[in-house]
């Protein structure tokens, strides 16, 4: 399945999550990458500490695996307060949120992952809490209905989402700081990998070897760390723990992860568009049916990276393989693809 891939940006199981946890930065000063955001946050945190207030509510959006939860942890750590985590789908009723809000101490951080999946009933509870640190609970119904106001402590809400477009505008407008997380550069990933190699007691990793892992990590620290662990296992069994460029090559080729971090599902997706649909344009549903995969899964977990590296284009008439994508597969397309894309592309978000 597409969601259980080695290069999946989401955690693939509890082991993955636990190890990921142990490798995450413990403080905002240890955080690598997302420089603009870190600077904005450091100022916001310091200013709020001067005023003895909570930091403004923060909305983080962007692809999975880029450290939204980690950021919430280091923000709470810097504020010297506690982090409480929950997620949109876990909050089914308004009262679920009441419990979470009344447990907060002053300036604590409440992290809501997948905030775009918050049910409407819960969303309405959150507005007065965000604005006035107040919860309006409705008691009884019909002619006996009355609203009781409960105060909660001043807190910071951090909302995380991979789908900023699905957030209602009243909710979105209540966040004081909104930031899009970007993919990490190869250099940033290499630094993260060096740090992780130290934490995992990997003593014999060549700089160049970490560089190759960084290039295959799809701009995502979680993937970089997972690939590093696969390489570490391989080195343990095959190369007496020595990690050179060829160790990384052999280990990741064995896993089916190529030089740009594409795996067999990415290549199958691109190959189907190239060979069965002559490079496109083709509808997502048609590709999904040919692959026997769910269209939503392809859209969420396969397409984002292919769009990001310019191998795939979403046009009004359907998905198209680009010249770069065709070159990577080693196929030639009969049509002048890129002109077509230039005039018909749509914003993929």
Catalytic residue among 162, 220, 247, 322: 162
Catalytic residue among 24, 68, 107, 216: 68
Site for ligand ADE in 266-285 (CB under 6 A): none
Q: How far is the CB of 117 from ligand ADE (least distance, A)?
A: 24
Q: How far is the CB of 189 from ligand ADE (least distance, A)?
A: 9
Report if residue 67 touches ligand ADE, rule: CB under 6 A: yes
CB 272 within 8 A of CB 312: no
> What is the β-pairing status of strands 109-113 and 156-161?
parallel
Active site residue 222: yes
Closer CB to ligand ADE, 30 or 278, in the complex: 30
Closer CB to ligand ADE, 2 or 19, in the complex: 19
Q: How far is the CB of 348 from ligand ADE (least distance, A)?
A: 25
Closer CB to ligand ADE, 82 or 194, in the complex: 194
CB 194 within 8 A of CB 210: yes
Residues 6+ apart with CB under 8 A from 155: 54, 101, 104, 106, 107, 108, 109, 110, 133
The position carrying tokens 């979680």 is 222
Closer CB to ligand ADE, 135 or 223, in the complex: 223
Q: How far is the CB of 50 from ligand ADE (least distance, A)?
A: 27
Site for ligand ADE in 18-37 (CB under 6 A): 23-25, 30-33
Site for ligand ADE in 152-211 (CB under 6 A): 192, 195
Q: How far is the CB of 186 from ligand ADE (least distance, A)?
A: 14
Which residues are at the interface with ligand ADE (CB under 6 A)? 23-25, 30-33, 67, 70, 192, 195, 221
- Active-site residues: which are they? 68-69, 113, 162, 222
């Amino acid at each position: 399945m597409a969601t259980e891939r080695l290069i999946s940006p989401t955690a693939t199981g509890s082991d993955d999550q636990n190890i990921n946890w142990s490798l995450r930065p413990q403080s905002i000063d240890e955080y690598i990458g997302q420089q603009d955001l870190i600077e904005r946050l450091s100022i916001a945190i310091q200013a709020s500490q001067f005023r003895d207030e909570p930091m403004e509510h923060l909305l983080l959006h962007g692809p999975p695996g880029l450290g939204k939860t980690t950021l919430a942890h280091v923000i709470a750590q810097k504020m010297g307060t506690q982090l409480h985590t929950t997620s949109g789908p876990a909050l089914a009723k308004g009262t679920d949120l009441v419990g979470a809000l009344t447990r907060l101490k002053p300036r604590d951080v409440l992290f809501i992952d997948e905030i775009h999946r918050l049910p409407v009933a819960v969303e309405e509870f959150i507005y007065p809490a965000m604005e006035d640190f107040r919860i309006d609970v409705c008691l009884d119904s019909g002619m006996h209905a009355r609203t009781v106001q409960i105060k909660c402590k001043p807190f910071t809400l951090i909302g995380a989402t991979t789908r900023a477009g699905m957030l209602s505008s009243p909710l979105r407008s209540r966040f004081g700081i909104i930031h899009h997380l970007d993919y990490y550069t190869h250099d940033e990933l290499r630094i993260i990998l060096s740090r992780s190699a130290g934490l995992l007691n990997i003593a014999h990793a060549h700089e160049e070897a970490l560089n190759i892992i960084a290039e295959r990590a799809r701009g995502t620290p979680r993937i970089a760390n997972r690939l590093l662990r696969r390489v570490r296992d391989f080195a343990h069994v095959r190369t007496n723990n020595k990690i050179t460029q060829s160790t990384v090559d052999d280990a990741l080729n064995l896993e089916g992860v190529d030089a740009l971090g594409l795996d067999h599902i990415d290549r199958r997706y691109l190959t189907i568009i190239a060979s069965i649909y002559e490079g496109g344009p083709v509808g997502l549903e048609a590709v999904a049916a040919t692959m026997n995969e769910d269209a939503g899964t392809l859209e969420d977990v396969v397409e984002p990276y292919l769009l990001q590296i310019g191998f795939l284009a979403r046009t009004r008439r359907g998905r198209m393989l680009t010249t770069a994508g065709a070159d990577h597969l080693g196929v030639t397309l009969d049509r002048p693809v890129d002109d077509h894309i230039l005039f018909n592309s749509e914003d993929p978000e």
